[in-house]
Amino acid sequence: MEKREQLYRGKAKSVYHTDDPNKLILVFHDDTSAFDGKKIDQLDRKGMVNNKFNAFIMEKLEAAGIPTHFEQLLSDQEAVVKRLDMFPIECVVRNLGAGSICRRLGLEEGIELNPPTFEFFLKNDELGDPMINEYHICSFAWADEQSVESMKAMSFAVNDVLKALFLDGDMLLVDFKLEFGLYKGQVVLGDEFTPDGCRIWDKDTREKLDKDRFRQGLGSVVESYEIAGRRLGLVFD
Ligand code: 5GP
C-alpha cells in the first residue's frame, strides 16, 4: 500500500491518503497534548504503544461483532484503516465519575454511575468541544436520527465488551470517548481507542493508567499505558 498526501495532522496522530480511495493510513506520533493544546510534550515510545494498543482493542471489538475501521498494522507507528465519512461528534460513556462530569455536576471523583451514562460532544477545538444533545445533532444535520441511535447502541456495546476485558486485567474502565463515521452507508467505529481517550484505573488501588497522568503531571505516562496494555495481554517490543 502506497502512502500519499497528508489528509490531517493532529498532535497525537496524522492521517494519510493511500493509492486505494477506500483506505487511509494512521500514523501515531510521540507528541501528546492536553487542555486544547495548551500543554504539549514528546513522550518516547508513545506512538508505538498507542498504535499497538489501538489495534488490539479494535480487533477485540471486531471479534465481538462491532464494525470498526481498523484493517491492519503497517509498522510500529502506522495502521491501515477504512476511509470513513466522520460525524463531527464525540460519544462518551462513563461507568465512574471523573473529569468533566465531576466539574459540571459537582461530583466526587470515583462515584459509580449505575446505569453507565452517555454524553455527546461537538468536535470543535475553538469552542472547546461543547456538550450537545440529540436534538442539536439532528437540527444541525451533524448526523441523522438513525445514526444517532446506532452510535448510542454501539457505544454501550463497546462498553460491555471492554469493561469485561479490562476487569480481567484487574482494571476499571472509568470512561472513554469514541468517534464514528459512515462506510458505504453503515455506521462504523473510527478514530482510536487508546489510553489517550479513556480513563483506566487499577481495580484495587485506583492508580491512574491513562492520559490523566499527563494532564495531572503524575509522570510515568507511557509506562502506565504499557502496564495497562500488558495486563490485557499485549506484548510491546
Ligand atoms: P471528559 O469529558 O471527562 O474530559 O472526558 C471523558 C473521556 O473522554 C475521557 O476518557 C477523555 O480522555 C475522553 N475525551 C474527551 N474529549 C477528548 C478529546 O478531545 N480527545 C481525546 N483523545 N479524548 C477525549
- The per-residue pLDDT for range 49-88, each reduced to its tens digit, is 999 999 999 999 999 999 999 999 999 999 999 999 999 9
DSSP structure string for 21-70: TTEEEEEE-SEEEETTTTEEEE-TTHHHHHHHHHHHHHHHHHHTT--BSE
Q: Which of 92, 113, 126 for mutating ligand 1's site (highest number of atoms within 8 Å of CB)?
A: 92
Record the pTM: 0.98
Residue written as cell 444517532? 148
Quote the ligand 1 centre to 54 CA distance (angstroms). Answer: 16
Kindly give the number of the ligand 1 atom that is closest to the alpha carbon of 12.
22
Query: How would you classify the pairing of strands 180-183 and 112-122?
Result: unpaired
pLDDT digits (tens, 9 = 90+) for 151-194: 999 999 999 999 999 999 999 999 999 999 999 999 999 999 99
pLDDT for 207 beyond 90: yes
- Average pLDDT score over the chain: 97
In the predicted model, what is the mean pLDDT of residues 207-225? 98
Which atom belonging to ligand 1 lies closest to the Cα atom of 211? Answer: 12
Nearest CA to ligand 1 atom 23: 197
Least-confidence region, from 10-19, 35-44, 227-236: 35-44
Q: How confident is the model at residue 94 (pLDDT cuts 50, 70, 90)?
A: very high
Ligand 1 atom closest to the Cα of residue 196 is: 22
- Centre of ligand 1 to C-alpha 197, Å, is 5
Q: Whose CA is nearest to atom 2 of ligand 1?
A: 100
Euclidean distance between CA atoms 69 and 67, whole angstroms: 7
pLDDT at 37: 83
DSSP, res 225: H
